[in-house]
Structure 1
Amino acid sequence: MEPRSPSKSRLPIMGFIYKHRALKIGLTLLIILLLLLVGVYVSSKPWKTRFGLKRSYFTVVVDCGSTGTRVSVYEWMIKSGFSDRELPILINAYPDNSTNSHSRKGSCQYHCIQTEPGLDKFVGNSSGVRTALKPLILWAEQWVPFERHRDTPIYVLATAGLRRLPSEDARWVLEDIEAVVKEHAFMYRKSWIRVLSGKEEAYYGWVALNYKLGIFNNSTRLPTLGLLDLGGSSLQVVAEIDELKEDECFLRSKIGSLEHLIFASSWSAFGLNEAFDRTVVMLSHSQALRQGSWGTFEVSHPCLSSNFVQNYTCKGCFGLSPSDSESLHSQVQRNELNSIFLVGEPNWERCKVLARAAAVNSSGSDWSLLTDGSKCEASCASLNGSNVLNLTMITQSIPRFHALSGFFAVYTTLNLNPRANLTKIWEKGQELCSRSWADLSSTSKSQNYAAQYCFHVPYMASLIEDALCLTDKEIIFGPGDVSWTLGAALVDGGFLWLGSSRAQTNILTLKNMGVISSTVFLFIFLVFLFFLVYRSQVKLPMPSKKVVAVGPSLPSYIFPKRCPN
């Protein structure tokens, strides 16, 4: 029998080795693919929701107000089993009351950091806008984790300060704002840097109030709360109504799964600061034009102490046109007539009448003849508009109103009970002013304090009593940490927690970039792992198989030489 060739006996062994290597590579690739799929699945929201995990996100809102610019940072949590009908949970609002910063100002005491003055003072001044805005964004970056900056939206929303500017001036300021915002890593869109309408500002405040007090976070419909929000330039009044009317003040809104019909009104020039300015104009119209010892015209104010003297810019004082000013005082230019000296002439009863006249927007000529009779009428945009609405009819189904911002600041100063009635407000206000006016050794700081609150108290009470006619409603002052910025963060940031079908924009894809980048990293890591496995020839577990032992190697077979023929 012819011996078997050794090369032929080696072929089955070599085939087994090649099959073994192919199987090992195939299993390695399969494991990498499975791990990659698991990684993608783990990184996705459905997995987190299914297994009870939670995720959080941040929103940054910059409030460009008439007196200053403020920033707030909100951190939200989306709970497990979350659906589009639910609202996210607010877990933190920065800064909180314990935050210390050189940027915090006395007029901004709750959940905000502020720079002054307002951005409406920086028309054509890019460096001024940058100086006011950049520290606020840098501060916000400290509260948002670095790795979350690119998926955190920032909204820069301006209110009455920019709203009263000519549209071209407001556009310049917004462009300067955008130039600063784009230098930072926060997510932004041009439409997120804008001037709010009065109705938007009012609506955001109403959403913030009812969300904060748990009205929206209930499975059943609860009566919503009315809002009174008094700022430096404007007054917001919002309440839910029973039926929608054909008017610019009424709107339909869906919060979670419930729909609301809302009356949202903003009265420009009825904020605390502008109302005070209006009283100075009223006084200048009713007083005889007289020149003081300083060579500047004087206006005496009944809400100020007798030792109060301050240089004051009054546009519209005396009601003089340029021609009138030239005929009256040829040596005095019109801009000089706008600069007056405001002096104190304290009189509580006259102060009350003046504040009431400002509250109901009485004309400058007849304010001193105003009686205690309540007007109780208000228009949607301003009290002297053509479309007059009776607020007592609109708000009849609202059992309770919350008075925020300027209202809350006055309440805090007077040390009132949150449910104090108007009688108590009048009493405490008179007591405060009498004490301030009697202190003739007042410093400049305490003079300004008296000037602020001796007008604000009667003006606030007159708004509630005479302009809004809410004396039969329960008015609660506070809570002090509610701002319309919370409502803006919840509503405008809805794409972060709503389903993709209800997303406002396609920005959601930017948010998912974090998941994509982590998946790519995982893939690269697994490819590297496969390379190591392949190079090291690590044997993977194989199914047990009995292999017949191979005997000792056969000696090489030497073919005999052929004998020559």
Structure 2
Amino acid sequence: ACRIGVSVPSWRSAGLCPFPGPRQRPAALGLAFALGLLLLLAAAAPRRWAAPSRTARRDERYLARVEDLTATDTEDLALSYGVVIDCGSSGSRVFVYFWPPHNGNPHDLLDIKQMRDRSSRPVVKKIKPGISTVAAAAPERATPYLRPLLLFAAAHVPALKHKETPLYILCTAGMRLLPERCQAAILEDLVRNVPLEFDFLFSKSHAEVISGKQEGVYAWIGINFVLGRFDHEDEEDAVVTVALGDQRESLVRKRTVGILDMGGASLQIAYEVPDSGAFSSPQQEAAAKSLLAEFNLGCDVQHTAHMYRVYVNTFLGFGGNFARQRYEDLVLNQTSVHNRLHGQRTGLSSETPFLDPCLPVGLEDTVARGGQTLYVRGRGDWVACTEQLQPLLAGTNSSQASLLGAYKAPIDFSNSEFYGFSEFFYCMEDVLRLGGHYSAPTFTSAAQEYCSQRWEVLTQRFRGGLYSAHADQHRLKYQCFKSAWMYQVLHQGFRFPLEYPSLRTAQLVYEREVQWTLGAILYKTRFLPLRDLRQESIRQGHGSWLRLSFVYNHYLFFACILVVALAIVLYLLRLRRIHRRQLHAAQLTLLWLDKVVVPPGQGNGP
């Protein structure tokens, strides 16, 4: 008996192959390729749907600011427009704003920008004098007085948009001084006659005399809007924890900035108060209620993301020029009393002048009040000047609030930021050339150095062009006084620490002047996005489930990728298991054939 050997490869030499047979291998390779592609998409998807990087957000903001300075495309039918007229004490100005359709996110505000003409100049026009001067005695003159401004706005807003363009006429300081009966007559004339000549969206609620508190709130809104502090999606900037009124809830959002504004006659401060806190007395609580403004900038009153509590206070008589007048009155009175008590003649002639520490060395001047004349000569002692100004912080009469005694909402100086405008900027930049970040030691050193210089040296530097182009003789003369006054107001009046690092003085924000009118139209139009949101919800109600699922909820998309990947892996494992079974069966067959004995007569052939 002989055995027949069959030439079949041994399974030990072939090894275990994890892939299917030759016919199934192309399909398996295709599935593996698909799996790799899906994994690649899954790796790339987070980059696509994740929040933009800080660099990307910074680039977007920069491009948006550049676009703000370009001409407005009035042929874009999707744009909306708004007109605000600021009726001030010395004149009136009209501002034209525009905005694209709302993006549909209920937590975002309208993207309102100031309109620019074909030459990329801001669309703004001013006329003089103020409406209170023109129409106080004759209210029927109010509409003819504003007609040039309305014609100017109508010429820049596309005619097709007039009927849907809101017009707001907001009157400030000059109108506040008029009797309420006179104010009402002027506003009534505007409400009655303006719609007869112009198609703007204008009603009784669009014409009003706003308080100083409202004006301060609008200014605060405008500055923070331009700085992007209402964009809570961006987590790049500092944040603050805000208590939400009586709800005993809190939220963490981007920190807003406070504003300091010193004009010629008044001083104003406005900043957010994150925590309502407790009051020491009923009188303090009453004072706080009159100075705190709580409002919701969002379009939905149920959403608290844009609930703000802002402290606003205006101090009449604490502006730079008015403070100088109060200081001169103080010096005149003190010198007169001193002369009477000691029998001296200080300041009564140029030979025996009063030595004023708040004027540059050697500068001679006179102060005339009520028939009295005081001769003064500067001695340039900045430290003595700040001490002389200390009593002025308390106010001098009942019509002037005390900067020291007035209620001030607490400021967290470790987590806050302020911008100083007008005199705060001029005082630092025009002569000292320190505009921008404020540093108390640097400012003090520069102010002392300036005050100690002789008047002849300062005028020579001025003629040599060493100071800002905005500087003039008046600035040179009173720079020493105003720098000391600014220092006292900041550190003694408002109690800013000397080492406070987050005060910046500015004239422009991102190369443009920001008016309180921007904040006004943001507040007045805050409910307009509801119209776009309703339209969006209607569109979503008709077959938008897939878009909502895969665009707005990308986590579901990632889950689908994972399910597909697992299915492919399970399929490959099953193929491998089947292949092993087939290989095992083949091995058993080989073992059986190796032991088969060929019957006699069949192995020798014929």
- Fold shared, TM-score > 0.5 on shorter chain: yes
Q: Cα offset for 1:176?
A: 7.0
Matched, 1:251 2:293: yes
| Cα 1:147–1:282 shift into 2, 3 Å | farther
Structure 2 CA distance for aligned equivalents of residues 179 and 343 of structure 1:
56
The answer to whether the aligner puts 1:158 opposite 2:171 as a matched pair is yes
Q: 2:559 is matched with which residue?
A: none
1:519 matched residue in structure 2? none
Equivalent residue for 2:505?
477
Match of 1:148 in 2: 161
Q: Is the contact between residue 354 and residue 377 of structure 2 (CA under 8 Å) also seen in structure 1?
A: no
Of 518, 522, 525, which residue of structure 2 is paired with 1:490? 522
Instruction: Determine which of 199, 215, 218 is the counterpart of 2:213.
Output: 199
1:224 aligns with 2:263: no
Question: What is the rounded CA distance, in whole Å, between the counterparts of 1:235 and 1:486 in structure 2?
Answer: 21
Per-residue Cα deviation, 1:47-84 (whole angstroms, up to 9, x for no partner) = xxxxxx983222222333455433332221224x4244
Structure 2 CA distance for aligned equivalents of residues 179 and 300 of structure 1: 60
**Which residue of the partner structure matches residue 31 of structure 1?**
none
What is the distance in 1 between the residues matched to 2:336 and 2:269?
A: 37
Contact 1:161/1:233 (<8 A) preserved: no
1:111–1:462 CA distance, 2 compared to 1 (3 A): farther
Looking at structure 2, the residues matched to 300 and 133 of structure 1 have their Cα atoms a distance apart, in angstroms, of 50
- Letter of the structure 1 residue corresponding to residue 221 of structure 2: V
Give the deviation of 1:133 after TM superposition. Answer: 4.6
The answer as to whether partners of 2:134 and 2:145 remain within 8 angstroms in 1 is no
Correspondence 1:383 to 2:402: yes
Partner residue of 1:402? 419
Measure, in 1, the Cα distance between the counterparts of 2:202 and 2:115. 20
Aligned: 1:447 with 2:473: yes
Asked if residue 189 in structure 1 is aligned to residue 203 in structure 2, the reply is yes
Kindly state the Cα deviation for residue 487 of structure 1 after the two structures are TM-superposed: 0.8
Task: Tell me by how many angstroms 1:194 deviates.
Answer: 2.4
Q: Would the aligned equivalents of 2:89 and 2:173 in 1 still touch at CA under 8 Å?
A: yes
Q: How much does 1:491 deviate?
A: 0.3
* Larger Rg over CA atoms: 2
Which residue matches 1:76? 99
Alpha-carbon spacing, 1:431–1:479, altered in 2? closer, same or farther (3 Å): same
Q: Which of residues 410, 427, 440 is equivalent to 1:422? A: 440
The alpha-carbon deviation at position 214 of structure 1 amounts to: 1.0
Q: Which residue of 2 aligns with 1:33?
A: none
Deviation by residue 1:8-51 (Cα, 9 ceiling, x = unmatched): xxxxxxxxxxxxxxxxxxxxxxxxxxxxxxxxxxxxxxxxxxxx
**8 A contact 1:66–1:118 mirrored in 2:** yes
Task: Give identity over the alignment, percent.
Answer: 27
Shift of 1:396: 4.4
Compared CA separation, residues 265 and 121, structure 1 to 2 (3 A) = same
> Does the Cα contact within 8 Å between 1:355 and 1:459 map onto a contact in 2?
yes
Q: How does 1:316-335 map to 2 (within 5 A)?
A: none
CA contact (8 A) 2:136 2:178 kept: no
Kindly indicate whether the alpha-carbon contact (under 8 Å) linking 2:264 and 2:319 is maintained by their aligned counterparts in 1.
yes
Distance in 1 separating the partners of 2:189 and 2:320: 28
**Quick one: which of 266, 282, 288 aligns to 2:330?**
282
Contact 1:307 1:440 in 2 (8 A): no
Q: What's the CA shift for 1:122? A: 4.9
Task: Give 1:550-561 correspondences, 5 Å limit.
Answer: none
Which of residues 250, 263, 269 in structure 1 aligns to 2:317?
269
Quick check: 2:106–2:533 contact (8 Å CA) kept in 1? no
**Offset of 1:462 from its aligned partner?**
1.9
Structure 2: how far apart are the matches of 1:430 and 1:180? 57
8 Å contact from structure 1 (residues 61, 155) kept in 2: yes
- The answer to whether the 8 A contact 2:395-2:401 is kept is no
- Whether the 8 Å CA contact 2:114–2:123 is kept in 1: the answer is no
Distance of aligned partners of 1:240 and 1:85 in 2 relative to their CA distance in 1, 3 Å threshold: same
State the alpha-carbon separation in 1 of the partners of residues 333 and 181 from structure 2: 32
Deviations 1:385-429 (A, max 9, x none): 97x4355x3444642111223323434424224112123333444
User: What amino acid maps onto 1:458 in structure 2?
Assistant: A
Report the CA distance shift for 1:158/1:124 in structure 2 as closer, same or farther (over 3 A).
closer
Is the Cα–Cα contact under 8 Å of residues 356 and 458 in structure 1 kept in the other structure? no
1:95/1:88 CA distance change after superposition, 3 Å = same
Query: Residue 429 of structure 2 contacts residue 435 of structure 2 at CA under 8 Å; is this kept in 1?
Result: no
Which whole-Å CA distance do the structure 1 matches of 2:479 and 2:88 have between them? Answer: 20
Match of 1:260 among 293, 304, 308: 308
Q: Which has the higher contact order (CA 8 A, sep 6+)?
A: 2
In the alignment, the residues of structure 2 paired with residue 406 and residue 436 of structure 1 have an alpha-carbon distance, to the nearest angstrom, of 24
- Matched with 2:394 is 361
TM-score, length basis structure 1: 0.57
Compute the TM-score of the two structures, normalised by the length of structure 2.
0.53
Relative to structure 1, the CA distance from residue 214 to residue 146 in structure 2 (aligned partners, 3 Å threshold; closer, same or farther) is same
Residue aligning to 1:534: none
Find the counterpart in structure 2 of residue 56 from structure 1: 79
Matched residue of 1:155: which SS? strand
Change (3 A) 1:500 1:412: same
Task: Say yes or no: does 1:124 pair with 2:146.
Answer: no
2:222 matched to 1:208? yes
The alignment of Structure 1 onto Structure 2 pairs a total of residues equal to 392
1:237 corresponds to which residue? 269
Over 3 Å counting, the alpha-carbon distance change for 1:155 and 1:342 in structure 2 is farther
C-alpha deviation, 1:229, in angstroms? 2.6
Specify which of 457, 461, 464 is matched with residue 487 of structure 2.
461
Distance 2:110 2:335 in 1: 57
How far, CA to CA, are the matches of 1:268 and 1:261 in structure 2?
23
Gaps of 5+ in 1: 1-52, 100-109, 318-336, 365-378, 503-565
User: What amino acid maps onto 1:482 in structure 2?
Assistant: V
Report the RMSD for the aligned CA atoms in angstroms. Answer: 4.6
The CA distance in 2 between the partners of 1:385 and 1:455, in whole Å, is 20
Contact 1:225 1:398 in 2 (8 A): no
Q: Which residue of 2 aligns with 1:536?
A: none
**1:308–1:344: 8 Å Cα contact kept in structure 2?**
yes
Q: 1-side partners of 2:404 and 2:377: how far apart?
A: 33
Contact map agreement 1:227 1:239 (CA 8 A) in 2: yes
Listed as ranges, the gaps of 5+ residues in structure 2 are 1-75, 235-252, 278-284, 338-344, 464-470, 535-606
Alpha-carbon distance in structure 2 between the residues aligned to 1:427 and 1:55: 54
- Partner Cα separation in structure 2 for residue 97 and residue 458 of structure 1: 42
Distance 1:197 1:73 in 2: 22
Residues 68 and 116 in structure 1, CA contact (< 8 A), matched pair in contact too: yes
Q: C-alpha separation between the residues in 2 aligned to 1:278 and 1:112? A: 35
